[in-house]
Amino acid sequence: MEKVVITGLSAISALGDNLDEFWENLLQAKSGIARIFRFDPAEYRTQIAAEIKTNMSTLLGYSVANLSLNTQFAMAAAAELVRDAGLENSGIDKRRIGISLGTGLGGMYYTEDALTRLIKSGPSRVNPMTVPFIEPNSIVNQIAIKWGFIGQQHTIATACSSSANAIGIALDMIRSGRVDAVLTGGVEATITPLMVAGFDRLRAMSNNNDDPENSSRPFAHDRDGFVLGEGAAMLLLEKESAAKARGAKIYAELAGFGSTGGGYHMVMPIPDGSDSALAMQLALEDANIGAGEIDLINPHGTGTKLNDVAEFNAMKLIFGDRLSAIHMTPTKQLTGHLLGAAGALEAVYTVKAMQTQTITPFKKLDDEFSLNINFSAPLAAKLSCAMSNSFAFGNNNVSLVFKK
């Protein structure tokens, strides 16, 4: 079976408007988490998030008045990806370029505005673009319209594993022979009054409001929940032969995809980690490698009491005593949790770490599990195989394996 390689990367998040800014801030262990600015959070238990403050019309170079916020993020990430991969002048038949993007809640944030208008002013004042703004598929549709990609297209929604599943499905799309390349990844924009209130009521988020930059504490003894983030990240997947034929730069190989479904609880993980472990095992088998070959794990690492324990148990099932030696990069500490886009941003991080053979540093915390997290300075490391994990509400778990 022909290899599927990564020939383009992009990212927009609270840590930067593009991949270079994102990576540079990670090299300095900078946090994108601060007090919420988009609305007044004074009445909320949690008052912090990792928000994008950039004017999107300025960034994109055209008016975004007819685009929902999540679609604006998607267009910014897609534009960077198309440039990075040289996709417009690639010679690839646009009928053979697919799109597979993940989002947990789509344009759900816009529902708040629409409902407010409906209640206050009546149905005649509801924006006629309400349905296109809310529907998750708008992120795929707008990209397809702008760049003319007309291959197979999907929008995937499996909560916090949405974009990781989208990447895995993109891998299968190429392997099946239906397309030659896929623009894949994810986008999320959920830092709004209703969404923050909902997670607030679940008691799932950190309320360390006085110290935002140290509020997200994956695997720490004193962790108290995740912190919302937003943004988009994308990868271009391509058949290796096509990538080499057009002289594309190759970041890494996407070698394995493992995905498992629910059957336990709406929000809680299985405590022993068995469901997450199965996703990892399936990804390793798909990549045709053993657990002993993994040099780096980008964990789901939300910083919630239950999830971190279950994830540690799952990793112990797969990696045993060797787990303490594997580089661990809990990026949500700095980026916040991008929900449906988290898997994509973390896949981009993992690929960039492999390309540069670098482990970025993280802010010091009291690690409950004695994991191999770098708390000092950027670290040169030999990284041949890496794993990125996304474990979602409803026990919808995904593991991706990358090779140098």
Residues that are catalytic: 160, 300, 337
DSSP states along 113-142: HHHHHHHHH-GGGS-TTHHHHHSTTHHHHH
What CA–CA distances, in Å, run from 194 to 33, 71, 177, 206, 400?
Answer: 19, 19, 42, 17, 32
**Cα(38)–Cα(201) distance, integer angstroms:** 20
What is the C-alpha R_g of the chain?
A: 20
**Cα(239)–Cα(180) distance, integer angstroms:** 6
Instruction: Give the strand pairing for 358-359 and 181-188.
Output: unpaired
For residue 65, with 0-12 CB atoms within 10 Å meaning exposed, 13-18 middle and 19 or more buried, which class applies? exposed
For residue 211, with 0-12 CB atoms within 10 Å meaning exposed, 13-18 middle and 19 or more buried, which class applies? exposed
Residue 311's CB is within 10 A of a number of other CB atoms, namely 27
Q: Which two tokens stand for residue 389?
A: 């994990």
